[in-house]
Structure 1
Amino acid sequence: MEGRVINIDPEILGGTPVFYGTRVPIKNLFDYLETGDTIETFLEDFDGVKKEQVIKVLEMSQRLIETSTGILNENFA
């Protein structure tokens, strides 16, 4: 999927990060996954969000965690 996946705009939900082209907060995805719901359940409940967007957000999150290892390790020292 090309283009932007996340939108942060002070005019949309006060700047809360949302899936681009929607008003669905990114946090909602993680809330669903945290409670054991599937990506498919999330997509059914938020039909404006595309599966490609969800996958891209998860990939971006993984890369952020992988590149933040040094910062995360400092919290355990």
Structure 2
Amino acid sequence: MKAINSDPEILGGTLVFNGTRVPIKNLFDYLETGETIEEFLADFPSVARDQVLGVLAFSQQILSASTQLLHENPA
């Protein structure tokens, strides 16, 4: 399942959960303030749990790749 979408016609191309108008940033805002995934899903019922888990897994992959690049190319 595709979790993330970017379309210039939806919130000016802001990254959103696929099939919704809910920005990905909202998830990270919730988590940053200590709210749970369950609270996020309750407030944004158009987002599926699988989408949230997909975004978190994708974010982890990006961070791992970035860390590896930083170690391979020190400034």
Q: Output the TM-score relative to the length of structure 2.
A: 0.90
Deviations 1:15-71 (A, max 9, x none): 000000000000000000000000000000000000000000000000100010145
Q: How many residues align?
A: 74
- Unpaired segments of 5 or more residues in structure 2? none
- Counting aligned pairs with the same residue, the percent is 63
- Letter matched to residue 40 of structure 1: E
Partner of 2:36: 38
Counterpart among 52, 55, 58 of residue 56 in structure 2? 58
Partner of 2:9: 11
Q: Please tell me whether residue 20 in structure 1 is matched to residue 18 in structure 2.
A: yes
Asked which structure has the greater RCO (Cα within 8 Å, sep 6+), the reply is 2
Secondary structure of 1:37's aligned partner: coil
Secondary structure of 2:50's aligned partner: helix
Moved over 4 A (4+): 70-73
C-alpha RMSD of the superposition: 1.6
Cα distance change on mapping 1:52 and 1:68 into 2, 3 Å:
same
